């Protein structure tokens, strides 16, 4: 992992709110702020209400995007990839990862009905725009 990729990963791990974008089978988009919990491989665990439009969209079209951003530091990580709805043991693993990263999420993840997801990136763009010169780094994950 390059120093820039480590910087991007550390940034993602320090940020909880992120934006997830999904699209239905007709291409109609929807974006929402959720809390993301990043793994060392840049994948992100997410959770949301099981009755949300996000879940309906993902069931029809698993492609999605995730963005982490800090407007004061002018840093962004933008990713495209695939969102999997987790069930059974995988959902429990995601729940455990979320709670170990941020115990304050306990009340939220205990709400029913809740669905756990895993975002696996295929492409990432890191931007640190206050660097001189700006740092821009793209990475393909070749997961498809």
Instruction: Give the list of residues 6+ apart from residue 136 with CB closer than 8 angstroms, or none.
Output: 125, 126, 127
CATH code, domain with 78: 2.30.110.10
Give the model's pLDDT for residue 142.
Answer: 78
d(CA 99, CA 144): 29
3-class state of residue 136 by DSSP: strand
Q: Which two tokens stand for residue 109?
A: 């993840």
- As averages over each run of 10 residues, the pLDDT of the chain (144 residues) reads 93 91 92 91 92 93 96 96 95 86 76 88 96 94 72
Tally of domains in the chain: 1
Range of the domain at 113: 3-140
pTM of the prediction?
0.90
Give the model's pLDDT for residue 125.
Answer: 97
């Amino acid at each position: 992992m390059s120093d820039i990729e480590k910087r991007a990963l550390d940034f993602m791990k320090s940020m909880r709110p992120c934006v997830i974008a999904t699209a239905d089978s007709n291409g109609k988009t929807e974006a929402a702020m959720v809390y993301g919990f990043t793994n060392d491989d840049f994948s992100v665990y997410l959770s949301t209400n099981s009755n949300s439009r996000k879940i309906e969209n993902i069931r029809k079209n698993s492609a999605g995007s995730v963005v982490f951003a800090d407007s004061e530091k002018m840093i962004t990580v933008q990713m495209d990839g695939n969102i999997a709805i987790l069930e059974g043991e995988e959902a429990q693993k995601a729940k455990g990862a979320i709670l170990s990263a941020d115990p304050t999420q306990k009340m939220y993840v205990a709400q029913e009905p809740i669905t756990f997801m895993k975002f696996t990136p295929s492409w990432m763009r890191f931007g640190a725009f206050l660097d001189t010169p700006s740092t821009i780094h793209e990475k393909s994950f070749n997961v498809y």
